[in-house]
Structure 1
Amino acid sequence: MAKRLAALICALILTGSAQAQTSDLVSKTALRVCADPANYPMSDKEGTGFENKLADLIADRLGVPVQYTWYPMATGFIRNSLRANKCDLVTGYAQGHELVLNTNHYYTSAYTLVVPQDGPLAGVETLSDAALQDKVIGIIAGSPPATHMARNGLLLKARAYNLVVDRRHESPAIDMLDDLAAGTTDAAILWGPLAGPLVKQGYPGLKVTPLTQEDLPPRLFFRITMGVRQGEKVWQRKLNSLIRRNQAEINVLLDEAGVPLLNDMGTEPLDLSK
């Protein structure tokens, strides 16, 4: 029994030491953010993305400046930024992803259907709608809505756009919306936090409809968190507290950017009056 107790004490000491070491990696003098330099409307080097503005808000509450490590949001992003200890925070990451330790989510959004607002598809709300049959629909290859399109027989005439790209050289979301605005395609299916802000700022003739009524998997809504290094529980809790105390201001920031905000279950628009 004495040996077991000693082993337990040693384990607790080692665990505490490991937690202290990981916590020591977080800068006390700056909010060190990992971000894509060309991922507008989320982030860019000019600081105009809504995630840039979110980082500014967090830094202001912490009383420190923002310091960026730029790396394309593609293969190796976490490994070469957060895990390499070059920064301490990713401002937007899907809940449950194993590469990071997630904070509490600060918004929920969904994939959207984008169509001409005065066209025959303006009233479509589900991918099973017969009005979509025989239409040319833009889709990011390999994204969750592609499964729903296949189930509803919409892939035969679909126009695919690349999923993983270096946004400094290729912008599939903008290409997709440009094609739709030009009439090359009839509709587009795009992640809401990309579609909403881009349409709001540059495509006044298009309508964005969140796909909240799809009952079969895969789900099309996601809760978005901030990501920190695995093991950094103290930093995570500090950010959770900041999110909770500033949620109303975060909601306004996202809404003004044009991000489609949904309730936690992704079933209806978020009531910003609450």
Structure 2
Amino acid sequence: MNNGAQRHRPLLPLMAIAAMLAGADLARAQTAQTTDGPDLSIELVDPKVLRICADPRNLPFSNDKGEGFENKLGELFAEKLQKKLDYVYFPQATGFVRMTLGAHRCDVIMGFPQGDDLVQGTNPYYRSAYALVTRQGSGLDDVATLGDARLRGKHIGIVAGTPPATNMAVNGLMADARSYRLMIDTRLDSSAATMIDDLTAGKIDAAILWGPIAGFYAGRTSPPLHVTPLVKETTGPRLVYRIGMGVRSADQNWKRLLNRLIQENQPAINRILLDFGVPLLDENDRPIGAETATKSP
């Protein structure tokens, strides 16, 4: 995935938490640092602290008030590990990995696209897709692909440099598109929020955003906007991505511990994500809802 996908998460709600690990499992999690291979103190900034690298103003992912779903996942993991939770905040733009994880100021990035070699990825804990966002009753509610003739001549918002821009170009939709900036300081601006404001105001006919962002903002408008994950694209790149966590390449024991926590807490993770409106997909591109929240990506 390119850097644009990572920043828009890829450019990626603590309403219910799974039952606490059984005594033996919890004991293993607590003692993994000292009994299962090398001491994690070699890998972590502080073995007693779950120190997360995060953006201070990038909802729905994270903010410095602890309101994002990655904040909630951090709370869940800190509870399971019985560690204090702390953050190192830095805008998720150029230099984010180098200035946080790479500088050994923190130990995990809570959302990172699988396959990006800037970090070592854990197993994925969710799978989502870029999505088409439309107004209810616009006549575009059931559009499922960018090749649909009903999109011709429409003003569609797109974040410049993200993967769907290629699909739009292939389908002849760029001439009437409205482009929004990719490189921004999230502390001062939000391309996604601006795009959604333009959509609700009728300045554009549709918007294309990374699924977690689309679902979050669509649910905050009145009436809610319609979100269609773009899983049926046959031209241009696939727009579905797996998201895991990012650690340093040398931190093998830490990665294994996080993988175990993901596996053991997948239902709770799914419920957090669903509460934030994240369009979760299984491996067959079918939506994961509350009734199937135990599934893994």
Question: Structure 2: which amino acid aligns with 1:24?
Answer: I
Query: Secondary structure of the residue that 2:220 maps to in structure 1?
Result: helix
Q: Over aligned residue pairs, what C-alpha RMSD do you find?
A: 1.5
Distance 1:239 1:192, change over 3 A: same
Q: C-alpha distance in 1, partners of 2:165/2:222? A: 24
Paired residue for 1:24, among 42, 46, 54?
Answer: 42
Checking the alignment, whether the CA contact within 8 Å between 1:35 and 1:43 is kept in structure 2 is yes
Distance 1:116 1:65, change over 3 A: same
Query: Secondary structure of the residue that 1:127 maps to in structure 2?
Result: coil
Describe how 1:48-127 pairs up with structure 2 within 5 A: 48-127=67-146
Query: Secondary structure of the residue that 1:201 maps to in structure 2?
Result: coil
Describe how 1:179-194 pairs up with structure 2 within 5 A: 179-194=198-213
Q: CA deviation at 1:96?
A: 1.2
Checking the alignment, whether the CA contact within 8 Å between 1:37 and 1:44 is kept in structure 2 is yes
Which shifted more, 219-228 or 20-29?
A: 20-29
Regions of 4+ moved over 3 Å:
19-23
Question: Structure 2: which amino acid aligns with 1:88?
Answer: D
> 2:263 matched to which residue of 1?
244
Q: C-alpha distance in 2, partners of 1:226/1:156? A: 37
Question: Structure 2: which amino acid aligns with 1:243?
Answer: I
> Is 1:221 the counterpart of 2:245 in the alignment?
no
Query: Secondary structure of the residue that 1:259 maps to in structure 2?
Result: coil
Q: C-alpha distance in 2, partners of 1:80/1:204? A: 40
Q: C-alpha distance in 2, partners of 1:166/1:268? A: 34
Question: Structure 1: which amino acid aligns with 2:243?
Answer: I
Question: Structure 2: which amino acid aligns with 1:34?
Answer: C
Identity value in percent? 49
> 1:261 matched to which residue of 2?
280
Q: CA deviation at 1:22?
A: 8.1
Q: C-alpha distance in 2, partners of 1:164/1:264? A: 31
Q: CA deviation at 1:169?
A: 1.0
Q: C-alpha distance in 1, partners of 2:294/2:70? A: 23
Q: C-alpha distance in 1, partners of 2:98/2:255? A: 19
Greater Rg, structure 1 or structure 2? 1
Which shifted more, 237-246 or 196-205?
A: 196-205
Checking the alignment, whether the CA contact within 8 Å between 1:113 and 1:208 is kept in structure 2 is yes
Q: Deviations over 1:28-85 (max 9, x none)?
A: 1110000000001110011000110001001010001211000000000000000100
Q: Deviations over 1:78-122 (max 9, x none)?
A: 000001000000000000111111000000000000000111111
Query: Secondary structure of the residue that 1:234 maps to in structure 2?
Result: helix
User: Normalised by the size of structure 2, how large is the TM-score?
Assistant: 0.83
Q: CA deviation at 1:20?
A: 5.3
User: Normalised by the size of structure 1, how large is the TM-score?
Assistant: 0.90
> 1:13 matched to which residue of 2?
none
Q: C-alpha distance in 2, partners of 1:273/1:20? A: 32
> 1:206 matched to which residue of 2?
225
Number of aligned residue pairs: give it.
Answer: 255
Q: C-alpha distance in 2, partners of 1:273/1:81? A: 32
Question: Structure 1: which amino acid aligns with 2:269?
Answer: I
